[in-house]
Structure 1
Amino acid sequence: MKVEIYSDIACPWCYIGKRRFDQALERFAGQGEVEVVFRPYQLVPDAPATASPHRAWLAERYGPQSRAMDDRVTELGKAEGIDYDFDAALHANTFLGHRLLHLAETEYGPAAQGVLKEALLKAHFTDGVDVGDRAALTEVAVAAGLDRARVTEYLAGEEGAREVREQLAEARQLGISAVPTFVFEGQWAVQGGQDADTFLKVLQQVAAESQGGAEHSSGAEQGGTEHGEACADGACAV
């Protein structure tokens, strides 16, 4: 079974969704036959190359509700073992990070990409790392197991940029407008940071459908996403 997870490094619900999906996968009897690949999505594609404080950016964009948004995610994150530090977090463009994830998938494999994804989320949300900075990204990648010389060479040029742009365009063509979105076997979509029990049930149902060859219309489990540029319970939408 192939699971493609559309998410952004700067999406707090993507971090929660990954942790919950990981928990479900650990409980799934067929976990050894599941391939998980992360696909790029940018909530703020026009974010400047120079990072700025997350709190200030969010307040400017969403007003007084921004603090409550962060507080809500922080509390939910604790249950998943995530230590959000929004005071330290930086608003940054995530395109370079997505290129790095593409490198990890294509040259190291999906498992290594998953390790890097977790490292990038932690770097952004817990450690206050500028995930739009090449030097900072290199250190995160090396700590996650990638080769320093290869990462340095890769980020210095434009390798992977075309492929990432194509994948971003594909996400738009698929109608994905909120993340995280989990696509199972290219047919079934689940949107939002669902709880682990829901993810486990979906894994079991998709496995049964795939094995049985039964007809099934694709649909989506919604995660409480609101219209507009906001992070509601379950997903971040643009």
Structure 2
Amino acid sequence: MEIWSDVVCPWCYIGKRRFESALREFERSVPGADVEVEWKSFELDPTAVSVTTRAEGPSDDHVRRLAAKFGQGVEQVRAMVEHVDATAAAEGLEFHQDLSVPTNTVKAHQLLHLARERGVQGAVKERFLRANFTEGEALGDDETLVRLAAEAGLDPVESRAVLAEDRYLDAVRADEAEAAALGARGVPFFVVDRRYGVSGAQPAEQFFQVLDRAWRESRPLTFVGGEDADACGPEGCAV
């Protein structure tokens, strides 16, 4: 399972929870199922400029930034944000987007590539999402990223080196080019076995269905018994 998303995308966090719910149900239904999840890079706004200080407290800044960016009214955007927060709450997530800090996410994505190599990508992804949407952390600040990644299992010294060298920048760009080639116009974007694509934070039931279908198609029947068993075919029946 390959999942393209961004750590400042609210529907990506909601979609992650819905997918995880479906995955738990799928694994209960199919004992022995082995689903590998890889988080891929996607920047919602590659031109974003990071603020490197944490928000002092709740404010309307996030709503006003979105209203200016998309050319919509403040009240309209506020209603949209409140709807997203309520949807997140229904999935067990606590959103405080009024603490949001403007962030360019390319460095966070580089650490997620490191995390995949070290076997802790899922934990780092979750930590970054919670830091952004619940805690109002400044994910554009190198030391904040290093601290959060360390809490999820990455070595701080190695993380600092990755950020200083832009070690995985090419890998981030490759992920983004791949998303475009696959036809992804937004995130979250889920790809199963390079056979099925799911766009958006679909209900858990939808994720379960695609997991189940991909699993069944990847597990052809194994025939047991002899080839000469009694049966009928186009040429007649065994006698």
Percent identical among aligned pairs is 40
Alpha-carbon offset, residue 128 of structure 1 = 0.5
Query: What is the aligned counterpart of 1:70 among 69, 77, 81?
Result: 81
Paired residues of 1:89 and 1:125 also in contact (CA < 8 A): yes
Within-5 A mapping of 1:44-55: 44-50=45-51, 53-55=61-63
TM-score, reference length from structure 2? 0.83
Which deviates more from structure 2 when the two are superposed, residues 30-39 or residues 152-161?
A: 30-39
Aligned to 1:97: 108
Question: Per the alignment, do residues 46 and 30 of structure 1 end up closer, same or farther by CA in structure 2, a change over 3 Å counting?
Answer: farther
CA RMSD of aligned residues (A): 1.6
Deviation at 1:31, TM superposition (A): 6.7
Q: Please tell me the residue identity of whatever aligns with 1:144.
A: A
| Corresponding residue to 1:192 among 200, 217, 230 | 200
Q: Deviations over 1:114-162 (max 9, x none)?
A: 1111111111111101111101101110111111111122112221111
Partners of 1:182 and 1:191 within 8 A in 2: yes
CA positional deviation for 1:102 = 0.5
* Secondary structure of 2:85 counterpart: helix
Match of 1:25 in 2: 23
1:130 matched residue in structure 2: 138
Instruction: Output the TM-score relative to the length of structure 1.
Output: 0.83
Amino acid at match of 1:10: V
Match of 1:217 in 2: none
Q: State the partner residue of 1:181.
A: 189
Secondary structure at the residue paired with 2:37? strand
Aligned to 1:38: 39
Is contact 1:116–1:141 with CA below 8 Å preserved after alignment?
yes
Over residues 150-186 of structure 1, what are the superposed CA-to-partner deviations in whole Å (9 max), with x where a residue is unaligned? 1122112221111111111121122211111100001
Task: Find the structure with the greater CA-based Rg.
Answer: 2
Conserved? CA contact 2:50–2:102, under 8 Å: no
Could you tell me which amino acid in structure 1 is paired with residue 10 of structure 2?
P
After superposition, residues 1-238 of structure 1 pair within 5 angstroms as: 3-28=1-26, 29-30=30-31, 32-50=33-51, 53-62=61-70, 63-64=72-73, 65-106=76-117, 108-109=118-119, 112-212=120-220
Q: 1:32 Cα shift?
A: 4.6
Question: As a proportion of its length, which structure holds more strand?
Answer: 1
Partner amino acid for 2:83?
R
Task: Provide the secondary structure at the position in 2 that maps to 1:91.
Answer: coil
In 1, are the aligned partners of 2:51 and 2:101 still within 8 Å (CA)?
no
- Tell me how far 1:55 sits from its aligned partner: 2.7
Cα contact 2:190–2:197 (8 A) shared by 1? yes
Worse-matched range after superposition: 64-73 or 34-43:
64-73
Separation (CA, whole Å) in 2 of partners of 1:171 and 1:137: 25
